[in-house]
Amino acid sequence: MDPVKAWHAEHDYFRRLLALQKQLDVFHGGERPNYELMLDIVSYLREYSDRVHHPREDVAFARLAQKVPELALPLERLRQEHRVIANAGAALKELLTETLGDAVIPRAEVEMAAATYLVYYGSHIAKEEEGVLAHAARALRPEDWAAVQAAVPSVRDPLFGDKPEERFRSLRRQIALEA
């Protein structure tokens, strides 16, 4: 598959998961959101996006900055956002895990952490889609894409791959229902 199309496809998958916003809306109604679903989403994003997708993007950004120097600063900001997203995701995952473990966590704290994660992540994807992918398609060559692919050992996507892992099957079914 064309690497830019694959990049875009992963962003589409991540956007679908960021429909976690629906669970935040449940907070406003005073009801219990589906914490299990929220934890599955954040777990997947932490395990796949933070460990596979973002490291590959970081290599693509570095190579793109060499070829299109005027993008160096915006690309460095996007790389910094990867670290912020990872930290926000780790904090949210911890809060959700504690909540499901019957810890008493103020709803507002969970809601704020989830909203921060969603807004930041959604904005990040939009910036990459609008300001990076077209440049990458034009400027990066096969040897660049080979370096991007080699940045992280080949890992099967545990949710959107051909065979989702058992722990993500219910999440995959939920996504299919909402599509």
Number of domains in the chain: 1
Range of the domain at 97: 3-178
- Measured between alpha carbons, how far is 33 from 178 in angstroms, rounded to an integer? 16
Note whether 75 and 21 are within 8 A (CB): no
- Measured between alpha carbons, how far is 96 from 88 in angstroms, rounded to an integer? 12
Residue listed under structure tokens 């473990």: 101
Question: Tell me: the pLDDT tens digits for 95-123?
Answer: 999 999 989 999 889 989 998 999 999 99
What was the pLDDT predicted at 149?
Answer: 94
Please give the radius of gyration of the chain, using alpha carbons only, rounded to the nearest integer. Answer: 17
DSSP 152: S
Question: Residue 122 has which token pair?
Answer: 């959604």
What was the pLDDT predicted at 18?
Answer: 85
Average pLDDT taken over every residue of the chain: 92
Alpha carbon of 22 to those of 9, 35, 88, 114, 124: distances in Å? 22, 12, 19, 11, 19
For 3-18, letters b (16+ CB in 10 Å) and e give bbeebeebbebbeebb
| Residue 6 pLDDT greater than 70, yes or no | yes
State the number of CA atoms in the 13 A half-sphere of 27 facing the CB. Answer: 17
Question: Tell me: the pLDDT tens digits for 137-169?
Answer: 999 999 999 999 999 988 889 999 888 898 888
Domain containing residue 165: CATH number = 1.20.120.520
Question: Tell me: the pLDDT tens digits for 33-53?
Answer: 888 989 999 999 999 999 999
Q: Over pLDDT 90: what percentage of the chain? A: 70
What was the pLDDT predicted at 179?
Answer: 61
- Measured between alpha carbons, how far is 174 from 176 in angstroms, rounded to an integer? 5
Assign 37 to helix, strand or coil.
Answer: helix
- Measured between alpha carbons, how far is 49 from 10 in angstroms, rounded to an integer? 9
